[in-house]
Structure 1
Amino acid sequence: MHDPATGITARNLGPADLDDLHAIGSERSVVRQMGGWPWPPRRDFTATRCRPYAGDGFVWGLDRGGRIVGTVAVTRGELGYMLHPQVSGQGLGTRWVGLAVDHAFATLPLTRIDASAWADNAASAAVLRKLGFVHWQTRFEQAIARGFPVASHHYRLTRATHDRLRNADDCRKATA
C-alpha cells in the first residue's frame, strides 16, 4: 500500500531492513514506549523482527525512499506502532495507524482492536483517541526497556464504532 500524501509505502519487513529497524530500536525515546523491546538495544532481538509476519494479522514496515522509518501492526487483534524520532510529529502516526485500522477491519474477522499506551505517552494516547479508540482499563505492566512496572492505559475500538466514524467521515467529505 502506498500513500502519496506521506510518500510512504507499507510493506513486509525483511532481513535487508535490519539496519533501519535497529536504528529505530536504538532510540531510547522510542523503545521506552514499547512494551516488548529491550534496552539496551540488541541487534539479535531486532533481527527477529526483520521478516514477514506469519501470524494472525499483519506487520508493516513504513518505507520512505527505501528506508524504514517506522512500523505499524495489528496482530491477534492488538495494534502496535513505532516511528523514528526524525519523522515524529509529522502526522504519520495518525495517518498510518488509521490506515492500518481500516485495513484490519476490512480484511480480518475482528469485532474490535485493542491498543495500549504507557501513562506518560500522551502523544500515542492522542493518536488512539483521534481514531475513535476509547479508554477502558488502566493497569500496571512490566516495561521491559524501563525495567519496572508502569501504568498502562488500554484502549479499544469496536468494528461498529469504526464503521460509524468512517461513514460520518465519508458523509463530511461528500458534502465538502
Structure 2
Amino acid sequence: MDLHAENGALTPIIQTERLTLRPLAPSDIADLHVIAAQWPVVRQLGGWPWPANLAFTASRSVPYTGQGFVWGVEAAGKIIGSVAVTRGELGYMIHQDYWRRGIGKTVVAAALDRAFCQDNCPVINASVWADNAASAKLLCSFGFTHWHTRYEQAIARGYPVLSHYYRLTRPAWDGLRNTAKSRNSGA
C-alpha cells in the first residue's frame, strides 16, 4: 500500500488542486453521515440503509483492511464522498452538492488506475440501478460494458430494483489509457 500512518495521521494517496483521496478515519463520521442522510445519494447505493443510521456510518468511517481499498474524497477539508474497489467491485458516492462537477470522473479514474496498475486486478465489476443513468454513463465513459441484468433487493428503497452489471477488463483499460496518451502527446 502506498500510504502509512505518521504520528497517527494517514497520508493522502492522491492529492490534486481540489481533491485529496485518502483512507477514511473515525474523525470522518460527521461528514460521511451528512452524505448518508441524503436520499438522492443513498437511494442509488446498494448497501447503505435508509434512513441514515449513525452506527452503520461509523462502521464505514474507518480505514479499510480487506482486499482492495476504500478512499474518502476530501475537498476543502471535509469528506464529500468515497470511492472504492473491494474484491474487484467498484463503488462510489458523492455528496449531492458536488454532482456534475467532474468529481466522479476524477475519483473513478484514480481508483481504476490504482486497481489495475498497482493492485493488478484482471477485471473490475460495477453495478447500477436501472434508473441511475448518470452512473451508467460514467461507467461506459471508462469502457465498462454491460454483461448482466437482474432484480436485486435495494436496502435503502426496501424493494427489488432492476440492476445492470458492468465490467471492465485490464486489456480494455490499458487500451483506453494508451489511446488517451496518444491523443495527449499529439501522436
Query: What is the TM-score of this pair, normalised by structure 2?
Result: 0.92
Q: What is aligned with 2:45? A: 34
- Equivalent residue in structure 1 for 2:183, among 150, 172, 175: 172
Q: What is aligned with 1:81? A: 92
Q: What is aligned with 2:16? A: 3
SS in 1 for 2:160: strand
Q: How many residues align?
A: 174
- What is the Cα-based RMSD across aligned positions, in Å? 0.8
Distance in 2 between the 1:161 and 1:109 partners? 14
Distance in 1 between the 2:142 and 2:110 partners? 10
Structure 1: runs of 5 or more not aligned? none
Q: What is aligned with 2:166? A: 155
The higher-RCO structure (CA 8 Å, 6+ apart) is 1
Matched, 1:117 2:128: yes
Structure 2: runs of 5 or more not aligned? 1-13
- Using the aligned pairs only, state the percent identity: 53
SS in 2 for 1:71: strand
- Equivalent residue in structure 1 for 2:33, among 8, 13, 22: 22
Runs (4+) off by over 6 Å: none
SS in 2 for 1:37: coil
Post-superposition offset of 1:10: 0.2
What letter matches 2:72 in structure 1? Answer: G
Post-superposition offset of 1:72: 0.3
Query: What is the TM-score of this pair, normalised by structure 1?
Result: 0.97
Post-superposition offset of 1:31: 0.4
SS in 2 for 1:58: strand
